[in-house]
Homo-oligomer: A and B are copies of this chain.
Amino acid sequence: MKPSLYTILSPALLNLYDVSNSVVVIIDILRATSTIATAMENGAKSIIPVDSVAECIRIGKQIDAITAGERDGKVAEGLQHGNSPFEYPESFIKGRTLVLTTTNGTKLLHMALDKGATDIITGAFSNLDVICDYLLKQKKPVVLACAAWKDKVNMEDTLFAGAVIQRIREHVTINCDASHLALTLYEAAKDNMFEFMKSRNASHYQRLSSFGLERDIRFCLEPNTVRALPVYENGKLVNKSLAS
């Protein structure tokens, strides 16, 4: 019997699914989980995802860490850094701890914790193959949890769910229409996801490109730029790919 796979297109649908026995993949392509993968690859000691700006500032002070995050696509007031993968080169992040809060992704991670999830990773195109390898190795049920945008279904997180499904579908049982939606979307878009997002006027494409962040979008849609595997353990994301 192959393990099940479900796709949750919005955090507002999380409570319909049992996440307690599954590997939960938190997906926030633009840009939290892409930035997490990149910062980790570049040597971040750990990344602490928190769900409020106040908490981010508090913990940042407490442990003398970098505080970063965004609200509505911009650096949140009171934080030092934003949510772009380009802000975290090795020269800056290596050996340091990052406390991160974002509009959707870090919130969803905390929701999954509240729902009893014990095996949480974050996934992005940047570390797509690493994520798929991990899922195949775990042989556990999989929940692909899209952070979406303020609970509204979005294109890029759904695309990533589809990309994972395309790669591991022979090894899982899919009784989940949302997963088939994601796969169909990915198959239509995979040859040029950037152009697909642009031509469909994807909401997040509009939002970020209006801030001059096309370069971020292109980077975040690029598969397999890193080998980092962010696994949530004891309140932080740590890189388990080093350990393997």
The answer to whether A153 touches B203 (Cβ under 8 A) is no
Tell me if A243 is interfacial: C-beta within 8 Å of chain B. Answer: no
The answer to whether A201 touches B187 (Cβ under 8 A) is no
Distance in Å from the Cβ of A195 to the closest Cβ of chain B?
A: 13
The answer to whether B180 touches A200 (Cβ under 8 A) is yes
The answer to whether B151 touches A175 (Cβ under 8 A) is no
**A residues 5-50 in Cβ contact with B at 8 Å:** 9-10, 12-13, 16
Tell me if A174 is interfacial: C-beta within 8 Å of chain B. Answer: yes
Of the candidates B174, B177, B185, which one forms a contact with A153 in the assembled complex, judged by CB atoms under 8 Å apart? Answer: B177
**A residues 140-158 in Cβ contact with B at 8 Å:** 150-155, 158
Specify the chain B residue showing the minimal Cβ separation from A204.
B177
Residues of B within 8 A of A188 (CB): 184, 187-188
Specify the chain B residue showing the minimal Cβ separation from A187.
B188
Interface centre among A13, A153, A204 (most CB of B within 10 A): A153
Of the candidates B150, B155, B178, which one forms a contact with A177 in the assembled complex, judged by CB atoms under 8 Å apart? Answer: B155
CA distance A200 to B180 in the complex (A): 7
Contact A175-B201, Cβ < 8 Å, known A12-B13, A185-B181: yes
Specify the chain B residue showing the minimal Cβ separation from A157.
B177
Report A196-217 CB contacts with B as 1/0, cut-off 8 Å.
0000111110100000000000
Count this chain's copies in the assembly. Answer: 2
The answer to whether A13 touches B180 (Cβ under 8 A) is no
The answer to whether A153 touches B12 (Cβ under 8 A) is no
Of the candidates B150, B187, B202, B203, which one forms a contact with A16 in the assembled complex, judged by CB atoms under 8 Å apart? Answer: B150
Tell me if A54 is interfacial: C-beta within 8 Å of chain B. Answer: no
CA distance A120 to B13 in the complex (A): 25
The answer to whether A175 touches B206 (Cβ under 8 A) is yes
Tell me if A176 is interfacial: C-beta within 8 Å of chain B. Answer: yes
Contact A180-B151, Cβ < 8 Å, known A13-B10, A188-B187: no
CA distance A174 to B202 in the complex (A): 9
The answer to whether A16 touches B152 (Cβ under 8 A) is yes
CA distance A176 to B176 in the complex (A): 22
Of the candidates B13, B152, B175, B206, which one forms a contact with A203 in the assembled complex, judged by CB atoms under 8 Å apart? Answer: B175
8 A-B interface contacts by CB (under 8 A): A9-B9, A10-B10, A154-B177, A158-B181, A180-B200, A180-B202, A184-B185, A185-B185
